[in-house]
Structure 1
């Protein structure tokens, strides 16, 4: 049976447990601003896209959602007036999402809390060198593995 070494197991499980713990703590912090992590990431992604917004398919790819999961979240955020969906101008078949003025305001409030909590829960526990190492490792791990 294939196994991991004790160090490999600590590295892998440490990543999984740390991600889960941080996600839940950040999610709870954002709830004070009426959002969750998924909604925050979606609003932030739309803000980064600018006034043109993003096609729903591209938005789903960037936030790593299934089409159905994105549609449910977009329905909720549109109902709250935080995003708007409109037909794509180029072909009219697809939809694009844009951040509304209310979405911008909500995101600004949540962004302050989110960054404060990221710094408190994560970055403050690392040296600048460790932060640089992690940044390099995450970049490398996001690359497509070679066959």
Structure 2
């Protein structure tokens, strides 16, 4: 029978529990400002893409969303006036997502608070060496974008 050693089990379960705990706490804070964490990540990724926007397929890959999940979230954000979807000029088949002025404003309003929460709940609890080690671990596991 295949089993984990106690340190392996602690590492794996610790990762799962920490991720779940952090995600739920950060999502709850974000919802106080009218977004959820997934919507924040989407708006942030579109902003990072610049004025030209980002193709829906590239956005789904970047955010690790299924096509359907991304479409539903994009529908909601577009209905709220935070993003626009436009036909890709290059081939006319795909869709580009661009941030609206309202979306950029909403992102600005929540970004500083979100970063403070990430710092308080995650980064401030670790030493600089531990942060560097985690960055190396995520890169080794293929978890860095």
Same fold (TM over 0.5): yes
Partners in 2 of 1:129 and 1:91 — Cα distance? 46
CA deviation after TM superposition for structure 1 residue 33, in Å: 1.3
So what's the TM-score if we normalise by structure 2?
0.96
Partners in 1 of 2:65 and 2:18 — Cα distance? 21
Please list, as runs of the form range in 1=range in 2, the aligned pairs for 1:111-130 lying within 5 A after superposition: 111-130=111-130
CA deviation after TM superposition for structure 1 residue 44, in Å: 0.5
Question: Match for residue 65 of structure 1?
Answer: 65
Aligned positions, number: 143
Q: CA RMSD in A?
A: 0.8
- Which stretches in structure 1 are left out of the alignment for 5+ residues? none
Partners in 2 of 1:129 and 1:68 — Cα distance? 39
4+ aligned runs moved over 2 Å, structure 1? none
CA deviation after TM superposition for structure 1 residue 37, in Å: 0.9
CA deviation after TM superposition for structure 1 residue 32, in Å: 1.4
- CA offsets per residue over residues 19-64 of structure 1, 9 Å max, x none? 0000000000001111111101100100000001011111111111
Question: Match for residue 50 of structure 1?
Answer: 50
